[in-house]
Amino acid sequence: MTRKTCNEITELLVDYADEELSSVEANIVQEHVSECKQCRNTLDALRRSIGIANVIWEDGLSEISSFEIPVDRKVKKNSWIKYAAIAASVLIAISSLMMWIPNTQPQAKEAAVAMSEIEQRITDAGNAAQLFASAELLTEYSRCQSIVRKQYNYIIERYPETMSAGYAKLKINILERKM
């Protein structure tokens, strides 16, 4: 297959993975993917990324702590994941301590609001980190840069207060410099 054909197919892979192509287009993509290892690998990575995103969205962006992202052994683990886990642990510890501190009735309401806000921030940080990790998996495939950029932008828009949004902004700047 020619490079141009692969580029055209790459643009259709997201819709193909989501089963949103017409049967004619789907057959064209299927035929190409069955013959082209590079496009097949890109499709596999894209399906993993979409699978991760679907799990997050289906769970209503909450309680996904038991979900693990499959990562190839050769992919370097980012130290920011450790820091995000430490920050989440600290927030959980602080919120647990808040429950043991004696409060008056008005303060109890404020603590409940603070507790729910902390829980939401932890959930948002976890979801953003998982989406960021899925985007990072796709960076291994040079033809997925537009998909990766869309995921970074989604993280920035949906989770602006998270560390992952900051990392996504940095990654977009790096991508723009490469162009």
Question: Taking the model in full, what pTM does it have?
Answer: 0.43
CA angle 123, 126, 131 (to 5 degrees): 125
Q: What are phi and psi of 77, to 5 degrees?
A: -80, 130
pLDDT over threshold 90, residue 153: yes
Beta-carbon contacts of 8 under 8 Å, excluding residues fewer than 6 positions away, are: none
pLDDT on residue 113: 57
CB 163 within 8 A of CB 125: yes
pLDDT over threshold 60, residue 163: yes
pLDDT over threshold 50, residue 69: yes
Q: Where are the beta strands (DSSP E) in the chain?
A: none
CB 39 within 8 A of CB 13: yes
140: which 2 tokens?
A: 């291994």
- Each domain of the chain, given as residue ranges in start order, spans 3-178
Beta-carbon contacts of 69 under 8 Å, excluding residues fewer than 6 positions away, are: 52, 130, 133, 134, 137
